[in-house]
């Protein structure tokens, strides 16, 4: 539900109908990336704060400065805030806006991947390392070479390869990289350089990572998202085209690429046969939540799948003060995921 509709919302009623409640309420959290490490659930969210920035379509009001890791012993256990994991003051290259992070584990070390704007006002993706899944993490002195835009998600495939998925439109700057170089013209316009409605939509990127997980092992490749006829989705198809919040999970040998459609507020998914795609648009995982953004991860806990997501119900609709939540999802026998209705407990295909 976009911000302009919130005056009509009865939040007490909405909470009663909500399929889930915030996992933590003492701080605002968003963009939850969930993983199982050593049998426990770890969630890597953004830590939302009100820094006094006005709402704009560049996302300036998302002025986050640090990360906290949330952990749960099981899906029904209390969610624990493990305190400060990384602060922007300890990231030499980053100036502002610590947006949606992800993490992964290799050989007993934990890697936090995060986007932030550098001193040149360009979003890059950084990595920070810890011996513990909850941090504290130590940031590498420079962002990952060849990285750009926002919302990294790092997927480990069954053969032990790691892939980074990333990209985000408008404030996430993906549209500024269409030529391979950053286009700094019209800095205040979130939509300059977005393709016309009848042109192919901008695509997110994927790159295999090096063995030490500190670099991209190849030039990022565009991820094709196609319709049922194999045609790339168009920019005007705002209910289906990629906007931000890339995630990948694997189920029954198929690769599920899921993402937010941004200004139409859906979490959608597309299915492919390998980590690079192409992915065929298949449907929605989540209908719009309260707040402008929608951002999620999909994680298997024991033998059930869960959608970790966020909404702005706790802050009564303030778009940049969000709360992470979790709800079970189901894959049908033909591989489709039932669509969750966040405020009524009915789901459908």
Residues that bind ligand FUB (CB under 6 A): 30-31, 46, 59, 62, 99-100, 150-151, 168, 244-245, 293, 295
Which neighbouring-strand residues pair with 104?
111
Judge whether 199 counts as a catalytic residue. Answer: no
Q: Taking the complex as a whole, how short is the minimal distance between the CB of residue 311 and ligand FUB, in angstroms?
A: 11
Q: In what helix (H) or strand (E) does residue 88 lie, and over which residues does it extend?
A: none
Q: Taking the complex as a whole, how short is the minimal distance between the CB of residue 106 and ligand FUB, in angstroms?
A: 24
Which residue from 127, 275, 133, 130 is spatially nearest to 215, judged by alpha carbons?
127
Which positions ≥6 away from 298 have C-beta within 8 Å?
247, 249, 256, 258, 285, 305, 306, 307, 308, 329
Q: Taking the complex as a whole, how short is the minimal distance between the CB of residue 62 and ligand FUB, in angstroms?
A: 4
Q: Taking the complex as a whole, how short is the minimal distance between the CB of residue 198 and ligand FUB, in angstroms?
A: 26
Find the distance separating the first CA and the last CA of the chain, reported in whole Å. 21
Q: In what helix (H) or strand (E) does residue 96 lie, and over which residues does it extend?
A: strand 94-96
Judge whether 56 counts as a catalytic residue. Answer: no
Which neighbouring-strand residues pair with 86?
67
Which residue from 220, 266, 214 is spatially nearest to 240, judged by alpha carbons?
266
Active-site pick, 102, 244, 287, 311:
244
Active-site pick, 31, 48, 102, 287:
31
Which positions ≥6 away from 94 have C-beta within 8 Å?
88, 116, 117, 118, 126, 139, 143
Based on CB atoms, which residue is closest to ligand FUB, 13 or 239? 239
Catalytic residues: 31, 244
């Amino acid at each position: 539900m976009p911000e302009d509709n919130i005056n009509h919302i009865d939040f007490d009623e909405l909470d009663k109908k909500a399929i889930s409640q915030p996992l933590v309420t003492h701080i605002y959290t968003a963009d939850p990336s969930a993983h199982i490490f050593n049998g426990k659930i770890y969630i890597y969210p953004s830590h939302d704060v009100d820094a006094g920035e006005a709402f704009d379509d560049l996302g300036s009001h998302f002025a986050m400065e640090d990360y906290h890791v949330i952990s749960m012993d099981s899906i029904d256990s209390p969610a624990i805030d493990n305190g400060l994991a990384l602060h922007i003051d300890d990231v030499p290259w980053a100036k502002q806006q610590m947006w949606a992070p992800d993490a992964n584990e290799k050989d007993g070390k934990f890697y936090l991947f995060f986007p932030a704007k550098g001193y040149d006002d360009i979003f890059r993706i950084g990595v920070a390392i810890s011996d513990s899944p909850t941090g504290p993490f130590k940031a590498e002195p420079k962002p990952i070479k060849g990285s750009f835009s926002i919302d990294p998600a790092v997927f480990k495939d069954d053969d032990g390869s790691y892939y980074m998925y990333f990209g985000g439109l408008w404030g996430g700057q993906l549209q500024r990289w269409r030529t391979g170089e950053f286009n700094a013209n019209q800095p205040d316009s979130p939509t300059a350089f977005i393709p016309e409605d009848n042109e192919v939509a901008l695509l997110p990127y994927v790159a295999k990572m090096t063995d030490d997980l500190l670099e991209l092992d190849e030039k990022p490749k565009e991820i094709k998202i196609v319709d049922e006829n194999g045609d790339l989705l168009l920019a005007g198809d705002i209910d289906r085209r990629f906007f931000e919040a890339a995630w990948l999970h694997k189920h029954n040998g198929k690769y599920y690429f899921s993402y937010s459609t941004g200004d139409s507020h859906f979490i959608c998914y597309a299915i492919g046969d390998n980590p690079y795609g192409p992915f065929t648009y298949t449907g929605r995982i989540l209908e719009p939540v309260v707040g402008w953004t929608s951002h999620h991860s999909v994680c298997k806990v024991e033998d059930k799948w869960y959608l970790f997501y966020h909404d702005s119900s706790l802050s009564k609709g303030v778009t940049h003060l969000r709360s992470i939540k979790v709800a079970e999802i189901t894959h049908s026998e033909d591989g489709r995921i039932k669509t969750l209705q966040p405020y009524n407990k009915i789901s459908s295909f």
